[in-house]
Amino acid sequence: MTAFPENLISKILKRKQENALRSLDSDHTRVDFSSNDYLGFSNVPLIQKDFEVSNGSTGSRLLTGNHDGFFSLEGLLSEFHRVEAALVFNSGYDANLGFFSAIPQRGDIVIYDAFSHASIRDGIQLCLAKSYKFKHNDLEDLKNVLNTHKFHLGNLYVVTESVFSMDGDSPDLQAMVELTERYGAYLIVDEAHGVGVFGEKGEGLVQSLNLQHRVFARIVTFGKALGCHGAAVLGSELLKVYLYNFARSFIFTTALSPHSIMVIEDRYSLLNQNSLDSFYKQQRAQLLRNIEFFKAELNSLGLDKENYVHSDSAIQCIIVPGNEEVKSVASTLQEAGFDVRPILSPTVPKDHERIRFCLHSFNTFDQITDVLKHLIY
């Protein structure tokens, strides 16, 4: 085996010194407070049980990988999310990388929330536009940045998320829509952690506020609450055509398999069930009860002080400054049988390290109480 480059070894050693070196964990025997499977959909049997499809798509969608399943799913997504068109990507990362590397052009400006996901930032880095960040969920700061560039000749794009993955909080989307409209900016909302959780049918936060026709694009992913894999960009028919002509992460990759497409469509059929006692409505109602119970238990145990990050979503966080300290707290919880993960710097800013709890419909009240009682730091 050839030698490993010395400069890369030094980067690994630096991560070790900062107690920030990541590792891969295969232990899934603990009580789940870590996965994105908010509704437990990943283990739900398919409604469409009897179908035979090929194992692979055989190529990119512009070559041999396109099939009728894509047209069926994208039609369903357009109708469900009340939008002109949808384009399926292989993952949320691919969707953000493809969208932000292809849409903003030289002479345009991208203004993004300081807490935007790495996939958004990576896509922006690949485009030719200039980019500026605004303070997290701070509309006044966003207004100041927009005001600075209001006479700019190129397009203005504003980027946010409906639920931020590190804090679980949400922006004031109604006010943000009004502000971006005032400045003629195009608003893009990543709904990765909103779909399945917000809205009567899990449509996401934008649609629950009836703002879908005032947003330039939404990115929805299927690997969180829907418990499968893939993503889609929602917007106009022109946006779809542009993306499958210019988004490199769409053009130059093998398409999702027919099986993956059918699983996504099957998960949406759960969301579309209309009865009041449908599986989805039961699971979502229990998830919301668990969120409220978690917050109430935080209060009763005196843990909802300055270190708690307020959130109404399935993501709940408590700040534990320092990589060593937060890893120690997480280790204590894991030894007690709970799958709770520390979020370390540089993933989050230094001194903003945190314990992140991902709540699910299948967590019990006793489990929630127990894990919080073990939270000693």
34-53 pLDDT tens trace: 999 999 999 888 876 656 67
User: Order of strands across the sheet with 341-343?
Assistant: 308-309, 315-319, 354-358, 341-343
**Would you state the pLDDT for residue 51?**
62
Interatomic CA distance for residues 239 and 245, integer angstroms: 10
Residues with Cβ within 8 Å of residue 274, at least 6 apart in sequence: none
From 222, 238, 271, give the residue that closes a domain. 271
Q: Which two tokens stand for residue 319?
A: 């700040």
Interatomic CA distance for residues 156 and 76, integer angstroms: 30
pTM of the model: 0.93
From 237, 271, 305, give the residue that closes a domain. 271
In a domain, 12, yes or no: no
List residues bridging with 220 in a β-sheet. Answer: 232
Q: Which two tokens stand for residue 317?
A: 């966080």
Same domain, 170 and 264: yes
Among all chains, which residue has been given the structure tokens 């889609």?
232
User: What's the total number of domains in the chain?
Assistant: 2
Same domain, 132 and 251: yes
Same domain, 315 and 264: no
Residue 106: CATH number of its domain: 3.40.640.10
**CB of 298 closer than 8 Å to CB of 308:** yes
**DSSP code for 29:** -
Residues in the chain: 377
Same domain, 301 and 256: no
From 271, 301, 319, give the residue that closes a domain. 271
In a domain, 19, yes or no: no
**Would you state the pLDDT for residue 48?**
67
Residues with Cβ within 8 Å of residue 91, at least 6 apart in sequence: 221, 223, 229, 230, 231
**Would you state the pLDDT for residue 49?**
61
In a domain, 1, yes or no: no
**Would you state the pLDDT for residue 111?**
98
Same domain, 177 and 248: yes
In a domain, 351, yes or no: yes
Same domain, 135 and 238: yes
**DSSP code for 376:** -
Nearest to 71 by CA among 50, 54, 87, 91: 87
Interatomic CA distance for residues 279 and 270, integer angstroms: 7
The number of helices, as runs of H, and strands, as runs of E, in the chain is: 13, 13
In a domain, 95, yes or no: yes
Same domain, 185 and 112: yes
Same domain, 121 and 141: yes
Same domain, 267 and 361: no
Amino acid at 3: A
**Would you state the pLDDT for residue 240?**
97
Same domain, 173 and 319: no
Same domain, 240 and 307: no
Q: What is the pLDDT along the chain (377 residues), one digit of tens a residue?
A: 889 999 999 999 999 998 888 888 777 789 999 999 999 999 888 876 656 677 888 899 999 999 899 999 999 999 999 999 999 999 999 999 999 999 999 999 999 999 999 999 999 999 999 999 999 999 999 999 999 998 889 999 999 999 999 899 999 999 999 999 999 999 999 999 999 999 999 999 999 999 999 999 999 999 999 999 999 999 999 999 999 999 999 999 999 999 999 999 999 999 998 887 899 999 999 999 999 999 999 998 888 777 888 899 999 999 999 999 999 999 999 999 999 999 998 888 899 999 999 999 999 999 999 999 998 64
In a domain, 262, yes or no: yes
Which strand (E) or helix (H) includes residue 160? Answer: strand 156-161
- Residue 300 lies in domain: 30-42+277-373
Which strand (E) or helix (H) includes residue 207? Answer: helix 205-208
Same domain, 332 and 284: yes
Distance of CA 68 to the CA centre of its chain: 27
Residue 35: CATH number of its domain: 3.90.1150.10
